[in-house]
């Protein structure tokens, strides 16, 4: 369809539409996954043993680095600047940190996809298996998606893809189309794309700025990161 070709061109950065210049000293080629900008951000994004997982990636690392955080937002804004999007949706809870600055820059409404029992006047989807343990269900504000709306879903990390699949299910159930799922980190070995395909969402792309292959900052081994007395006290969520 013509609109699909226009969307693909915009996502590839080949749209003829005018957009703002990238940060001085960088080029849009540097916004590529695992590229130079991604590596700058990966350099301040540590992992820790947490929730019985050997490498739990902590986006708090780049959130405390204003330059790195600004670059994360800039990459996402530039990727979707020329894409037709009606609204941006963030997943509970770190999607609430990343989605709003992107939505503000693109002048799009932002909606929270919250876990059951956390938001009034919500429409809930089916139960799904969480990334680490147990099950939950996502809620979306009533009226946030109208038939034909184009949605961008944002989260910090995609692992098995269970939560993202639930989000796509819910948006589609309400008549919307998901343009893309954008994450800062993708654990590629867990192959969330296969889960999407199995769930009937092979039409929805997943895009991530960083893969686990460049996230090599060991939070317990780096002397610059205060970790005295560290214990794995993570709980399933």
Mind telling me the catalytic residues? Answer: 94, 131
Query: Could you tell me the maximum CA-CA distance found in the chain, to the nearest angstrom?
Result: 57
* CA dihedral of residues 21, 67, 179, 113 (deg, nearest 10): -150
**Phi then psi for 204, rounded to 5 degrees?**
-105, 115
For residues 3 and 37, is the Cβ–Cβ distance under 8 A?
no
Listed in sequence order, the DSSP H helices in the chain are: 2-12, 36-42, 60-63, 66-80, 95-106, 162-173, 192-198
SS3 string of 212-233? HHHCCEECCCCCCCCCCCCCCC
> How is residue 6 annotated by DSSP?
H
Closest C-alpha to 41, from 15, 66, 68, 4: 68
**Phi then psi for 89, rounded to 5 degrees?**
-120, 135
For residues 160 and 131, is the Cβ–Cβ distance under 8 A?
yes
For residues 95 and 156, is the Cβ–Cβ distance under 8 A?
yes
């Amino acid at each position: 369809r013509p609109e699909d070709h226009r969307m693909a061109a915009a996502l590839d950065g080949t749209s003829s539409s005018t957009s703002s210049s990238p940060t001085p000293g960088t080029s849009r080629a540097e916004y590529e996954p695992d590229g130079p900008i991604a590596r700058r951000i990966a350099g301040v994004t540590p992992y820790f043993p947490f929730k019985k997982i050997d490498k739990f990636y902590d986006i708090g690392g780049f959130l405390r680095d204003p330059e790195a955080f600004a670059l994360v937002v800039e990459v996402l804004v530039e990727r979707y600047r020329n894409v037709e999007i009606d609204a941006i949706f963030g997943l509970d809870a770190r999607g609430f940190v990343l989605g709003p600055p992107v939505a503000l820059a693109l002048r799009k409404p932002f909606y929270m996809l919250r876990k059951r029992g956390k938001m009034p006047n919500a429409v809930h989807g089916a139960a799904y298996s969480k990334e680490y343990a147990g099950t939950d269900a996502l809620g979306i504000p009533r009226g946030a998606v109208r038939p034909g709306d184009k949605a961008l879903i944002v989260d910090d990390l995609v692992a098995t893809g269970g939560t993202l699949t639930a989000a796509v299910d819910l948006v589609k159930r309400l008549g919307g189309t998901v343009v893309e799922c954008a994450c800062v980190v993708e654990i590629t070995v867990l192959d969330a794309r296969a889960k999407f395909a199995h769930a009937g969402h092979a039409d929805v792309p997943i895009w991530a700025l960083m893969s686990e292959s460049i996230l090599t900052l060991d939070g317990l081994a780096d002397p610059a990161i205060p970790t005295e007395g560290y214990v794995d006290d993570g709980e399933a969520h």
